[in-house]
Amino acid sequence: MAWEKDAPNAGFSTGTPWLPVKAPQAEKAVDQQGDNSIFAYYKDAIARRKASPALSNGKTTFLKVPEPFLAFTRSAEGETLTCVFNLSDKPHALSIQGDASIMHANEAALDNKVLTLAGNGFAYIAHGSEIEVNAI
C-alpha cells in the first residue's frame, strides 16, 4: 500500500521492497486521495460500526423480503437498526411501515414510507419500535 507520495518507497516500507514502487503507484498514495476514496469510505464504515452498539454487538434477525433484497435487524443497548441491501444492479423499492429514518445510506431514499434503493444501494434504518419491510 502506498501511504505517502513523497516518502521513500511511497511509505510502503522503510526497507527495500521486493518490487519497486513506481511513480503511478505513488500518485495514488493514501495521502493523495480525497474524502471520496475507497480508503475514506472504509474508515468511515469502521468508525460507524464501532460507534453503534447495534452494528458492533447487536443480535441479528434476518427479515423475509423478496429478491433481490437482503434485510436484517440488529439490536443492542437500546439501539435498533434495520439494514436493507439491494443485491441487484437495478433500482428497487420496498414499503417501510413504522416510525423510521435513514441513519446511513448509499444510493437510497426514504420518502413517504417508500424505501428506494439504487442498484447495489443500501440503507441503515434507525427505529425505536418494530417496523415492517414489505414488497411494493
- In this predicted model, what pLDDT tens digit does every residue of 62-85 receive, in sequence order? 999 999 999 999 999 999 999 999
pTM over the 0.85 mark: no
Only one residue has cell 500500500, namely 1
Helix (H) or strand (E) holding 84: strand 79-86
In the chain the domains, ranked by start, together with CATH numbers, are 8-49 (no CATH), 53-135 (2.60.40.1180)
| Residue 1 confidence (pLDDT) above 90 | no
